Chain A
Amino acid sequence: MRTAVVVFPGVNCEHDVVQVIRSLGGEADLVWHRVTDLSDFDGVILPGGFAHGDALRTGAIARFSPVMGEIERLAGSGAPVLGICNGWQVLCESGLLPGAHIANRDLSFICDFVEVEVVDTGTILTRSAQPGQVLRVPLNSYEGNWVDPSGEGRVVMRYVDDPNGSQNRAAAVANGPGNVVGIMPHPERASDSLLGSTDGLVLMESFLHSLVAA
């Protein structure tokens, strides 16, 4: 069971994600954005960062990267696809998740721990969590304010206190089947008590368990 951690130029959380997956006993490899064959992989994570420098707008160029065709194929096959922070923005731009992201309500970058409540445990990110479970996970974004005029977004987690203006206080959103999820806070940054929280582990474990089940 291998996870592809996709590296667009400008992404910067790829090593952190690989490290946490391996610490949980999972297998993960970095995959350059020009790769066009992901048949050796059972799931995909798009890590945080600034893909293509966020030129034009977040995710707008990454959606045209050669690797995206394979990610769409895997998403369509029901494989777990997780976008963290900038990765969620890429999934929105590519149409795999509804809505888009705009600048935070207060027009400031926010790097801080936030509390999020799990409201839907039927997804690849939350299947090991409890409904109503509150997790302390770091947020790290400028364009974290999710808007969804369609109203189709399946909210998976909500901020306890709204930090950025996100619609429905959404901190994570899934597609209908629940195998494609975008999350704005960084679960990989809440994976070690020495760094302040281990609350992200249940989310990373959910993802890894989903690989086994797929």
Chain B
Amino acid sequence: MTTLSEPLHRRLGMTDSEYDSVVGILGREPRDAELAMYSVMWSEHCSYKSSRAHLGRFPTEAPWVVVGPGENAGVVDIGDGWLAALRIESHNHPSFVEPYQGAGTGVGGILRDVFTMGARPIALWDQIRFGPLTEPKNRYLFKGVVSGIAGYGNAVGVPTVGGEVEFDDCYTGNPLVNVMCLGILRRDQLVLGTAGAPGSVAVLLGKATGRDGIGGASVLASASFDDQSAQLRPSVQVGDPFEEKKLIEACLEMYDRGLVVGVQDLGAAGLSCAVSEPAGRAGVGMNVDLGSVHTRETGMTAAELLMSESQERMMAFVAPDRVDEVLAVAEKWEIDASVVGRVVEGDRLTIRHDDELVAEVPAASLADDAPIYDRPAARPGWLDEIQAGACHDSDLAVADTLLALLADPAVASSAWVHTQYDHMLFLNTVVGPGSDASLIRVQGTRKGLAVSTDGNGRLCYLDPRIGSARLVYEAALNVAITGARPLAVVDNLNFGNPEKPEVMWQFKESVEGLSTACEALGIPVVGGNVSFYNETDDVDIHPTPVVGLLGLADPMPADPPRLGRAGDGMEIWEVGPPATSNMAGSSAQRLSGELVGLPTAPDPEAATRVVELAARLAHVAPVLHDVSDGGAAVAITEICIASGVGATVRSEQPFNEDPHRFLVVAHPGSLDLPAGLGRLIGMMGGEDIVINDDAIPLTRCRQIWAGSLEHALAG
């Protein structure tokens, strides 16, 4: 921990050389408030200073991209005048320090990123990772995060329609809480984070500013944890979903009536970001008066006002003759509003606090002149030995292994989680939680939007490039299973301490893997987030990129495949490259407590072929299911449980998780599979699940699968 005797810039999390850069930009020593602004804007969380040098690798262009990385959310064209906005974010560190508020404000923040673009947020997905539930602390964190997501998401009135739950030792000291949001808008409603032309007025909307969350971005999100971390609790913001709900409706009404020229949400770095980024993007200056900011505490200093991360706030930039209308809309929706600034010619951001000049800086320098670190990267010395470990096992006992997998909370039913989330609001959720991908209909059109979110820290630990590429291919196959074609990716890159060369190498390899897979599928990365410093007491998490992949089904299948549509007498086909005996990184390997081997590399050609085939079959087959966690054995069992009918199958490698495979269940003779791509492996029927002559009663499988998460939580 820092002490008061240190210089201010170090207490704000800045290095000496970063301080020198500020002096260079200003040509003088910075005032306190200026230093506060640079410290938050140049934090790892806001500036991506350790990752920016590598993020340029991502493919970001496609004819359907309307807004790529760099704005508050990515926007893609889905046809007929409709756009989709998407964004993914992490709230890892706040959720560890205070799980309920940390997770809840993560939901609030991602919503603002999306409705800032002019979109109505229509769905959320949460990807959450914890240490094993055998530890009481992990149970506390897990329950707190789930109820925080439910408490905020349900009340704010945006359905949480899917996500992921994973448990692994590496997340014990550093859980991962990622959240993705999708919004839709008409093309003419698109709003950007621009301050507009000189004369525009800056109107601060929403919750009153307080001292909460000061240093959230710079101190909490951009540093590692140790045993003093509980002292950071005051850096966590407190959420108010009711304020956010009113703010959403008020902003959407303003967009609808064409009242704003630009909008910027107040998230990390608060007001500092909300005045400097829009001015920088528009190439203008701005005069701001902090005395006009509506506050809920007295005596706040200029630096506190500029750094506060109070939630549920937006900055609208409005032409002078529309200000009264904006204030009237705010009054109708019962949200506070104050005029805090005016856009001027030039490039200066001039900030006064009542009568005192507290900051005068080039607006764009806060966002654009942040340092870029090309940190040293080195392949971990331990990786060769790990990858050489014995990972081939073709002789697992089927019944015992299957039952153990069904009892694993990471494989078992997640109903305990998703029945706490409102996943049905808006009447759009055609395929909801517990499926390979969610399918959300776009009302008034024949379109469906499919989203799959996927991460796998175990695969990425063994080989970050292979593991990351496989995530993209898995997500693409998952959306195809609903009848959608892949359209765009957002990614949340959760890694350890970037100052360690091994972590930086993992990061670069992961970016490479994600990029090559996106290129092979012809889809752009339209946004993302980087979360570094996921380490506690010098132990880093497994590299855990999380992919959120959006697909478009146009038209949406009239009766999309569902796990519960299998029936007696239907055939079970396995499609894609044959399974192997490679268990590296698999769920079955986790049962043995090991994590060794080199995972099977993806095959881009096979990937594109199975994605296209699945998207076509989704219009005719009653059941399609990705083969992933737990292999074909678990995939078949999930179909049997959902459909209430048993199955008899033969599979040489029932627990293998090699990529690009899926199951199809359909009436005999109803499918037209390309020669050589599909194999008939069994039939639906009976009351047992029979795999290679091992028979297990379906009722027993269901009982274990349905109850294991709740059982684990009982401690």
Q: Assess whether B93 is interfacial by the CB under 8 Å rule.
A: no
With A50-B157, A109-B154, A111-B419 as contacts: A12 and B245 at CB distance below 8 Å: yes
CA distance A50 to B155 in the complex (A): 6
* B104-112, B261-269, B425-433, B650-658 - interface stretch: B425-433
Whether A10 contacts B425 in the complex (CB less than 8 A), given A50-B155, A53-B155, A194-B441, comes out as: no
Q: How far is the CA of A132 from the CA of B332 in the complex (A)?
A: 45
Query: Do B241 and A111 touch (CB < 8 A)?
Result: no
A53 to chain B, nearest CB (A): 3
Contact A50 B419 (CB under 8 A): no
Contact A9 B441 (CB under 8 A): no
| A9 and B426 form a contact (CB under 8 A) | no
Q: Pick from A76-84, A176-184, A185-193 the stretch touching chain B.
A: A185-193
Are the CB atoms of A109 and B242 closer together than 8 Å?
no
A16 to B420, CA, bound (A): 20
Task: Encode B395-424 as 1/0 by CB contact (under 8 A) with A.
Answer: 000000000000000000000001111111
The reply to whether the CB of A36 lies closer than 8 angstroms to some CB of chain B is: no
Contacts of A191 in B (CB 8 A): 427
Contact indicator B424/A12 (Cβ below 8 Å): no
Within 8 Å CB of A52, what residues of B? 242
Residues of B within 8 A of A135 (CB): none
Residues of A within 8 Å of B150, CB to CB, are 109
On whether the beta carbons of A50 and B245 are closer than 8 Å, the reply is: yes
Distance (whole angstroms) from the CB of B166 to the closest CB of chain A = 21
| B98 at interface by CB-CB < 8 Å | no
CB-CB under 8 A from B240, the residues of chain A are 53
Kindly state the separation between the CA atoms of A46 and B154 in the bound complex, as whole angstroms.
18
Q: Say how far A166's CB is from chain B's closest CB, in angstroms.
A: 17
Cross-chain contact A12 with B420 (CB below 8 angstroms): no
Least Cβ–Cβ distance between B208 and chain A, in angstroms: 15
Q: Is the CB of A53 within 8 A of B242?
A: yes
A214 in contact (CB, < 8 A): no
Residues of A160-203 contacting chain B, CB below 8 A: 186, 188-189, 191-192, 194-195
Q: Are B424 and A110 in contact (CB under 8 A)?
A: no
For residue A4, which residues in chain B have a CB less than 8 angstroms away from its CB?
A: none
The answer to whether A133 has its CB under 8 Å from any CB of chain B is no
Q: Are A195 and B426 in contact (CB under 8 A)?
A: no
Verify if B64 is at the interface (C-beta below 8 Å from A).
Answer: no
Which residues in window 1-25 of A have CB below 8 A to B?
A: 9-13, 15-16, 19-20
In the assembled complex, which residues on chain B have CB atoms less than 8 Å from the CB atom of A138?
424
In the complex, the answer to whether B421 meets A9 with C-beta atoms within 8 Å is no
Residues of A within 8 A of B356 (CB): none
Q: Select from chain B the residue with minimum beta-carbon distance to A186.
A: B424
Contact of A12 among B332, B425, B429, B430 (CB under 8 A): B425
Which of B333, B422, B424 has a CB less than 8 Å from the CB of A9?
A: B333
The reply to whether A109 and B420 contact each other, CB–CB distance below 8 Å, is: yes
Q: Mark A106-136, 1 if CB is under 8 A from B, else 0.
A: 0011111000000000000000000000000
Question: B157, B332, B427, B429: which has the most chain A beta carbons within 10 Å?
Answer: B427
Chain B residues whose C-beta falls within 8 Å of the C-beta of A54 in the assembled complex: 155, 242
Q: Using C-beta atoms within 8 Å of the partner chain, give the interface range for chain B.
A: 20 to 34
| Residues in chain A near residue B186, CB distance under 8 A | none
Interface residue? B334 (CB, 8 A): yes
Q: Which of B246, B332, B420 contacts A108 (CB 8 A)?
A: B420
Shortest distance between the CB of B121 and any CB in chain A (Å): 12
> Chain A's nearest CB lies how many Å from the CB of B268?
25
CA distance A186 to B333 in the complex (A): 25
Contact with A along B330-369 (1 / 0, CB 8 A): 0011100000000000000000000000000000000000
B245 contact from A10, A142, A186, Cβ within 8 A = A10
Assess A188 versus B157: contact at CB under 8 Å? Given A9-B242, A53-B240: no
Instruction: Report the number of A-B residue pairs with Cβ-Cβ less than 8 Å.
Output: 79
With both beta carbons as reference points, the residue of chain B lying nearest to A138 in the complex is identified as: B424
For A48, the closest partner residue in chain B by CB is B425
Task: Specify which of B241, B425, B430, B443 is in contact with A53 (CB 8 Å cutoff).
Answer: B241
> Most chain-A Cβ atoms within 10 A of its Cβ — which of B243, B423, B425?
B425
Within 8 A of A (CB), among B640-674: none
B residues near A59, Cβ cutoff 8 Å = none
Contact A10 B424 (CB under 8 A): no
Collect the chain B residues with CB atoms within 8 Å of residue A19's CB. Answer: 427, 443
The distance from the CB of B119 to the nearest CB of chain A, in whole angstroms, is 16
Assess A9 versus B157: contact at CB under 8 Å? Given A19-B427, A112-B419, A194-B430.
Answer: no
Q: A52 CB to closest chain B CB, in angstroms?
A: 7
Cβ-based interface call for A140 (8 A): yes
Partner of B421, one of A32, A111, A189: A111
Q: Which chain B residue lies CB-closest to A16?
A: B427
State the Cβ distance, A136 to closest chain B Cβ, in Å: 13
Measured between alpha carbons, how far is A32 from B246 in the docked complex, in Å?
Answer: 13
Binary interface profile of B, 110-135, with partner A (CB < 8 Å = 1, else 0)? 00000000000000000000000000
Residue-wise, chain B 518-545 has the 8 Å CB interface mask toward A (1 for contact) of 0000000000000000000000000000
Across the interface, which residues of A come within 8 angstroms of B425, CB to CB?
A: 12-13, 16, 140
Q: Given A16-B427, A50-B155, A188-B427, answer yes or no on A111-B333 (Cβ-Cβ < 8 Å).
A: no
Interface centre among B150, B156, B419 (most CB of A within 10 A): B419
Whether A49 sits at the interface, judged by CB under 8 Å, is: yes
The smallest C-beta distance from A125 to any residue of chain B, in angstroms, reads 19
B242 contact set on A, CB distance < 8 A: 9-10, 50, 52-55
Which of A53, A108, A189, A194 is in CB contact (< 8 Å) with B424?
A189
A135 vs chain B, min Cβ distance (A) = 16
The reply to whether B246 and A111 form a contact with Cβ atoms under 8 Å apart is no
Q: B156 — which chain A residues lie within 8 A by C-beta?
A: 12
Query: Does A9 lie within 8 Å of B246, measured CB to CB?
Result: yes
| Cα A19 to Cα B443 with chains together (Å) | 11
Q: How far is the CA of A24 from the CA of B498 in the complex (A)?
A: 58
Q: Are B429 and A111 in contact (CB under 8 A)?
A: no
Complex contact A9–B155 (CB within 8 A):
no
Q: Using Cβ atoms and an 8 Å threshold, which residues of chain A touch B430?
A: 194-195
Q: Which residues of chain B are within 8 angstroms of A110 by Cβ–Cβ distance? A: 419-420
Name the residue on B nearest A52 (C-beta): B242
Is A16 a contact of B246 with CB atoms below 8 Å? no
Say how far A213's CB is from chain B's closest CB, in angstroms.
Answer: 27
Chain A residues with CB below 8 A from B243, complex form? 53
Q: Which residues of B contact A109 (CB under 8 A)?
A: 147, 150, 154, 419-422
B426 — which chain A residues lie within 8 A by C-beta? 15-16
Is there contact, CB below 8 Å, between A111 and B157? no
- Name the A residues within 8 Å of B421 (CB-CB): 109, 111
Q: State whether A50 and B241 are in contact (beta carbons under 8 Å apart), knowing that A109-B154, A110-B419 are contacts in the complex.
A: yes
B245 / chain A contacts, CB cutoff of 8 Å = 9-10, 12, 50, 53
Closest to A13 in B: B425
Query: Which of B332, B418, B422, B441 is close to A140, meaning CB atoms less than 8 Å apart?
Result: B422
Q: Which B-chain residue is minimally distant from A33 (CB atoms)?
A: B334
Q: Determine which of A9, A32, A195 lies in contact with B427 in the assembled complex, contact meaning CB atoms within 8 Å.
A: A195
Q: Closest CB of chain B to A140's CB: distance in Å?
A: 5
Please, what's the 1-or-0 string for B240-259, where 1 marks a CB less than 8 Å from any CB in chain A?
A: 11110110000000000000
Minimum Cβ distance to chain B for residue A164 (Å):
12
**Bound-complex Cα distance A46 to B143 (A):** 32
Inter-chain contacts of A142 with B (CB < 8 A): 154
Digit string of B131-157 for contact with A (CB within 8 Å is 1, else 0)? 000000000000000010010001111
Q: 10 extra interchain contacts, Cβ-Cβ under 8 A, other than A109-B421, A109-B422?
A: A9-B333, A10-B155, A13-B425, A19-B443, A32-B332, A53-B240, A108-B419, A111-B420, A140-B424, A194-B441
24 inter-chain pairs at a CB distance below 8 angstroms, sorted by A residue, are A9-B242, A10-B246, A15-B426, A16-B426, A19-B427, A32-B332, A50-B154, A50-B157, A50-B245, A53-B240, A53-B242, A53-B245, A109-B419, A111-B154, A111-B418, A111-B419, A140-B422, A140-B425, A188-B427, A189-B427, A191-B427, A195-B424, A195-B427, A195-B430
Write the residues of chain B forming the contact surface with A, with a CB cutoff of 8 angstroms: 147, 150, 154-157, 240-243, 245-246, 332-334, 418-427, 429-430, 441, 443
8 closest Cβ contacts across the A-B interface? A53-B242, A12-B157, A109-B420, A50-B155, A112-B419, A111-B422, A109-B150, A16-B427
